[in-house]
Structure 1
């Protein structure tokens, strides 16, 4: 639509000032913020019944449209009205048709209807007011008749009268709600950039955001932020943007933190600031896990610089974000800053501080905050803060202080301990292994009329099971069942895992079957635990059955469970079943890992099938998995067991030179022991020296193997040196050491040296003495 001529520019700028909201509800959606109300119109001197508006309304209702121009009473009455009176008048007409007829009648008038007949500006403003009322009538008669609104607009868009702000916003909101965005932009373009104030932009931008047209919406809003813009954003602009973009995604389009912060910052520079609610939501979004707390910190202080008052809950959001980032110094300084700016912390503020301090085990600082609440700022702690503090104390083993704090709660009328309080204390006692105290606390809880919940039940059962009292846990569970309490999947998981660890697989399976009867669905972790227990118990058929049930429940085996199953089948010599599991892994897209290959290499090595073991090892490296010390250890051990000592030694040197895998104590011990048994004690000593060179610490097994070899060779002097080395390295002898040395040293009369060795003294330079009594050792 063409804009009015240049002579009308100043006029239109005046006309685009917001009109007051109507008394009816039809214009509730016409603007984001209600336009300011103009000065009240002076009422006529006559009574309301005889007012010009009432008289004109009567004439228009009772006189045919064709007779309006010839009515001699009508024109003088109309000439006495202001533009706003025309709006009120048209709203009193019975229908949109009558209103539109009246608009056409007034538009065709050859003279402006004013006292002076010269004020054309007032005539145009009157037309604008009447047209607004026409649109309101159409919407009131049928709120869904958006097409009718648009048709009226297109019919008159080439006329030389402006639209009021309320007319524009009504059109934009209605068309936007109907997703008629091409038509929205047609109205928007008609208005012209010179007359698009914040109300108009907000109407279109909000409609675009609600359907995910984020980029289009920001292009519209950016008009208000351009350096030469005639209009600037208002506070409602920011609220609209923040409400519609925070935490939302549209087909992969997410408004990032940097984009949001930039828009808020530029709006603030133009005098628009978020409301307290929007600011709180903004800072919560910026500070959420994975968000940018630093950006939130900078933006908050930028708003402070503009004089924006941020209320307590907005500051709480930033404080929570700082806590998650463990920025305790900033938390403390921000609390002081809040005080300096007159922002009074509330119970939520202190709750955030206590929670995060306890979460990271800084309970003494949390206790200081609690004392400050009561003594300095007169904010009474609530039950949540007390429970958080008690839980924090119990988690660091200070359950006695937790119990003392619970007693303090009883002194406050609104802070009596509840079920959560007792659960925290019971959990702390159970983790400390004080099961009897936990049971006593449980009994006290019941005496006070507090009903335990399933968390209480699970906490006590878990405590009993962790301290090896699985049967006590089962008895307690049955007792609670008799009192009407029901367990959940976690209860069964605790008991089943405990029975699996205690090798009581029959009881674990019984409970597993009971779960289904009680309509408790096992989770993936429970299935994994049960499969692991069954495999280690050698009950592979039951493990396969549980695996099938797991798949029926919609869960899939992970690599750990596959490895457990493969290991179980290998231990039972069911290689065909192990291969089935490998094939199943391949179909499921789960790739074998180092444990998978090591299990198979160990199996084939123990069977003496070194050819297959080496093939598996070759496949392992082809899959990009570097053999570990366990891989080499399994092969070296198998070579030694099969009297293939030279191959074992060759593999050892290959491991040291061709790979970055360093041998461990187990591999050295395997070779040293086998070499000594093969009467190659000198070679064994060489490996002992190599062990020292590689800074691998020998253990009692290493020394025992060499001492046994020295005994066979009767190398007493070397044995004494080795015993001194054991003393230097604080390597305690075991019963095997004593068997070797007692038999040997008794036969050579060196019991005194053995006695000194046991007492922790060097023996190599001691004088030989023959012990008369072996019982003196």
Structure 2
């Protein structure tokens, strides 16, 4: 055996070659004897205390010691108590003295006294572990014991495993576990090893050890301590080693359930919540049902977590099944349970079912077994659901019930739900009436109240009232936020009052509110449509300073605005910026460019842009073709316009619409190509494109210029058949022409029964 050096205070180093159990018998011990090593009591009988003290006194005397006097103390009995040797060994002040005593015991013990020897070894290990930097000495002692077939007991093994783990020697700890006799590997040993591995970040090794415990033929199975160790580590955030996915934890939990080891309520709820959030409601369902089936303690909390997950998936069948299961195993639903059901039923617009659940929790249905007094959250959830489907009057009735119950009085959320509901329904006066009641009841409004009323007023044409209300609330100390200002900015942009929109944008900045992307987009769009491109660019710069990026809609609005202002350089700047930021043009971008280029006579570039559009996977729309046709018509190039029209009709999947026909018919008539225009109108009938008043007006003008009276009569009859009402332009053309040729009777017959509409020119 290798030499072991143990330094003793004030003594010369001892060379311990072969001291440890040189006379130890072979390793083939009887299994029952080994089991005894793991169960021997550490507590000595009271009459052993004097023996312990006498032995310690002998070893505290300077050398040479008279060790013969120890024999009658230790071995006078036929079978000395094994725990006596542990109690003596562990009370030595140094490992060298403990080892010296161990050598004496080993030399004097009768054969096959393995429990006594193992307990004495345990004491040596305990004393050594208390000394600084002892891990290498412990490792040497362990190797020596293995070489000399000294059996470790359970406590000695777990002491070594933990000592090595604390020193970062996890492989050595795992070696002790693997080399320990299988008959000694009880639940405590397994738990210690799993704990050591998990704390050291060796997740996969820990799982391997745990799998051994879960085998059906293993005598020692997991217990509650196992569960505490395993789940205590796996539920830690930022733990060392590989983190287990929630599905792996669920699988382990289900395996441990079979051994009556269950997650506590908090951890079970956390695991079910995490599974459901990651879309694994099926696994969460199986886990909860296994715990219930195998007798684990389950209360409403984990059931509520699963109900929430099922609600997100709109799986109402399983929600009902879970409620039935809760009843079967006598789990009492609470306010949260019913709140989850009501909330998800309301979100799915199944309001009548939500009301049924609400009444059921109050014991107002046929089945009166469950009675939970609704709290303010349950009331508010149902009121909000009713308001969102336009049943705000029923919500108002519920609030009146709350007002009669002092313990469940309406709060700010209650009033906000109703105010928002009536505002969205356009009943601003009723919303203001509820707001006034809110103030009378002493319930303080908040910024949500303010925003609901201002947004409602703005969207229903009461912008000035919204502004007055804002100033009134501000005078009472209620501050507006970004949503408030955005509603007003949107409203003023929609009525083209850009100055007022900019005024509120400035007020928003000066009040310390950070505009959101919607506020910027609204203002940029309004300024661009109003032709105030410089102001729009200023807002864009502010938006970028705030960390927001332009989106495709904003770029399209700006490009369209710059095209209208004929600022091609700015258009190119926008397109380059889009390319740099990775935003690809869409159909609207291409159509805007094609329309602009066509109107400015740059037809070559317009066609190149159209080819690029097709290359990028966008199909030209009726707007694309219409822009080109309209531009050619404006440039008196009807032949090219007709070529595009024929190409559009034959090769594209986009059929011409009434507007395109009208542009061509009008241009053809102005160029005296009335026959071609008439053929186009006949084509409209074949392709079931309905002509409108503008179509007929263009034809009547062309026919009048070419004195084609009979054709005009035909079109007048067709116009009546199509139920296409003439406007003042139609009547002006026909009255002047038909009166001049003496056809007033035909004219009277034409207008009979018509209500002449306003001009659509």
What TM-score results when the alignment is normalised by the length of structure 1? 0.81
Cross-structure match for 2:268: 279
3-state SS, counterpart of residue 381 of structure 1: coil
Cross-structure match for 1:361: 349
Deviates further, 376-385 or 462-471: 462-471
| Correspondences of 1:414-425 after superposition (within 5 Å) | 414-425=407-418
Distance 2:119 2:189 in 1: 21
User: How many angstroms does 1:246 deviate by?
Assistant: 6.7
Distance 2:137 2:689 in 1: 90
For 1:98-132, what per-residue CA distance to the aligned partner results, in whole angstroms no more than 9, with x for missing partners?
26356424422335999xx6662331452365357
Distance 1:210 1:667 in 2: 76
User: How many angstroms does 1:300 deviate by?
Assistant: 3.3
Change (3 A) 1:396 1:710: farther
3-state SS, counterpart of residue 750 of structure 1: helix
For 1:740-762, what per-residue CA distance to the aligned partner results, in whole angstroms no more than 9, with x for missing partners?
566567653135533554279xx
Distance 1:388 1:757 in 2: 56
Distance 2:240 2:661 in 1: 60
* Residue pair 1:350, 1:373 contacting (<8 A) in 2 also: yes
Distance 1:214 1:222 in 2: 12
Cross-structure match for 1:310: 298
Deviates further, 82-91 or 514-523: 82-91
Distance 1:532 1:132 in 2: 80
Cross-structure match for 2:622: 629
| Correspondences of 1:27-46 after superposition (within 5 Å) | 44=46
For 1:407-465, what per-residue CA distance to the aligned partner results, in whole angstroms no more than 9, with x for missing partners?
11123332111111111111111111121222222222122222211111111111111
* Residue pair 1:703, 1:722 contacting (<8 A) in 2 also: no
3-state SS, counterpart of residue 369 of structure 1: helix
Cross-structure match for 1:726: 722
3-state SS, counterpart of residue 105 of structure 2: coil
Deviates further, 68-77 or 425-434: 68-77
3-state SS, counterpart of residue 521 of structure 1: coil
User: How many angstroms does 1:170 deviate by?
Assistant: 6.0
3-state SS, counterpart of residue 672 of structure 1: helix
3-state SS, counterpart of residue 758 of structure 1: coil
* Residue pair 1:632, 1:655 contacting (<8 A) in 2 also: yes
Q: 2:527 aligns with which of 534, 554, 567?
A: 534
Task: Output the aligned Cα RMSD.
Answer: 3.9
Cross-structure match for 2:93: 98
Cross-structure match for 1:158: 144
Could you tell me which runs of 5 or more consecutive residues in structure 2 were left unpaired when the two chains were aligned: 3-24, 757-761
* Residue pair 1:671, 1:684 contacting (<8 A) in 2 also: yes
Change (3 A) 1:410 1:73: farther
Distance 1:698 1:528 in 2: 38
User: How many angstroms does 1:229 deviate by?
Assistant: 4.7
Deviates further, 327-336 or 599-608: 327-336
* Residue pair 1:234, 1:273 contacting (<8 A) in 2 also: no
Matched, 1:393 2:386: yes
Change (3 A) 1:661 1:719: closer
Change (3 A) 1:99 1:165: farther
Cross-structure match for 2:211: 222
For 1:475-509, what per-residue CA distance to the aligned partner results, in whole angstroms no more than 9, with x for missing partners?
21122221122122222222222222222222222
User: How many angstroms does 1:642 deviate by?
Assistant: 1.5
Matched, 1:122 2:115: yes
Q: How many residues align?
A: 717
* Residue pair 1:87, 1:132 contacting (<8 A) in 2 also: no
Cross-structure match for 2:104: 109
* Residue pair 2:362, 2:374 contacting (<8 A) in 1 also: yes
Change (3 A) 1:510 1:156: same
What TM-score results when the alignment is normalised by the length of structure 2? 0.83
Deviates further, 243-252 or 618-627: 243-252
Distance 2:160 2:490 in 1: 66
Distance 1:180 1:471 in 2: 77
Cross-structure match for 1:653: 646
User: How many angstroms does 1:180 deviate by?
Assistant: 5.2
Matched, 1:753 2:741: no
| Correspondences of 1:246-261 after superposition (within 5 Å) | 255-256=244-245, 258-261=247-250
Could you tell me which runs of 5 or more consecutive residues in structure 1 were left unpaired when the two chains were aligned: 20-37, 45-50, 139-144, 761-777
3-state SS, counterpart of residue 475 of structure 1: helix
3-state SS, counterpart of residue 104 of structure 2: coil
Cross-structure match for 1:594: 587
| Correspondences of 1:564-579 after superposition (within 5 Å) | 564-579=557-572
| Correspondences of 1:65-84 after superposition (within 5 Å) | 70=67, 72=69, 76=73
Cross-structure match for 1:185: 174
